């Protein structure tokens, strides 16, 4: 592994994920800083141009080493279509296992509820919409069946933390409030969940297939 590639990997370890544009810029910067002969270019502008085509090759070289340790640099797009790359753990049977070291049992249970009983549950309208109203997510704290209760304020704080860490995202849904036309906050999957949780990746693929196979005009008012 070349010096710039090792430095790029260290930056991924620190940030866990970044947009593809940020990844290209970071690698270009590191090529210049490390004066890596593989990069050839010596100016930031030239290096940036080189890494646009080279980033995929860099990721492939990193993955050839990382997979031995059950890690991989993977790609995904967020709900707005922005491409990201992130360092993902492939070892855990449960895609949520790594969260157990970062979150309390209540926070993890709430996240599971939002994910598996809300967003990924085909029996709910949230499965197709890809978002759950924030107030509904907060109220799930009453259904955790834990030895001690979780207060709504604690649930809201946990959701904000999950959003900050990239596991969830907040979105404004226009005209969905009980007040006519007033937008309301909703919760959707974050880019880190898209990158690291296999069930989320499968759900997104299924949703994309559903959209592609739906007849034109289906679900719209005449």
Average pLDDT, rounded, for the chain:
80
From CA 56, how far away is CA 148, in angstroms rounded? Answer: 48
Residue-wise pLDDT for 157-193, tens only, equals 999 999 999 999 998 865 444 444 555 889 999 999 9
Query: What are the backbone dihedrals phi and psi of residue 190, each rounded to the nearest 5 degrees, phi first?
Result: -90, 170
Q: Which of 39, 53, 19 is nearest to 195 (CA)?
A: 19
Neighbours of 95 (CB within 10 A): 18
Least confident segment among 16-30, 33-47, 149-163? 33-47
> Residue for token digits 């910067």?
29
pLDDT-derived band of residue 92, with 50, 70 and 90 as boundaries? Answer: low
User: Which CATH architecture group holds 97-213?
Assistant: Orthogonal Bundle (1.10)
Rounded to an integer, the average pLDDT of 196-212 is 76
Domain 3-89, CATH: 3.90.1150.220
Q: What is the pTM of this model?
A: 0.77
Question: pLDDT band at 33, cuts 50/70/90?
Answer: confident
| Domain boundary assignment for the chain | 3-89, 97-213
Indicate the pLDDT class of residue 219, thresholds 50, 70 and 90.
very low
Dihedral sign (CA 125, 127, 132, 137): positive
- Among 14-18, 53-57, 136-140, 142-146, which is the least confidently predicted range? 53-57
Provide the 8-state DSSP code for 178: S
Alpha helix stretches (DSSP H) within the chain: 3-15, 20-34, 44-66, 105-112, 126-129, 134-139, 152-164, 191-196, 198-213
């Amino acid at each position: 592994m070349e010096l710039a590639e090792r430095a790029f990997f260290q930056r991924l370890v620190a940030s866990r994920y970044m947009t593809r544009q940020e990844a290209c810029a970071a690698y270009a910067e590191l090529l210049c800083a490390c004066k890596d002969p593989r990069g050839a270019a010596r100016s930031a502008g030239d290096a940036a141009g080189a890494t646009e085509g080279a980033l995929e090759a860099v990721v492939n070289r990193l993955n050839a080493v990382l997979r031995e340790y059950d890690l991989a640099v993977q790609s995904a797009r967020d709900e707005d279509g922005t491409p990201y790359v992130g360092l993902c753990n492939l070892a855990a049977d449960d895609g949520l296992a790594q969260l157990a070291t970062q979150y309390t049992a209540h926070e993890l249970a709430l996240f599971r509820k939002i994910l598996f009983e809300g967003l990924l549950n085909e029996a709910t309208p949230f499965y197709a919409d890809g978002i759950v109203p924030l107030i509904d997510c907060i109220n799930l704290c009453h259904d955790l069946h834990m030895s001690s209760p979780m207060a709504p304020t604690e649930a809201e704080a946990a959701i904000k933390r999950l959003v900050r860490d990239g596991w969830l995202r907040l979105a404004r849904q226009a005209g969905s409030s009980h007040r006519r036309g007033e937008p309301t906050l909703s919760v959707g999957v974050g880019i880190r969940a898209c990158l690291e949780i296999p069930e989320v990746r499968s759900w997104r693929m299924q949703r994309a297939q559903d959209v592609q196979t739906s007849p034109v005009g289906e679900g719209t008012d005449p």
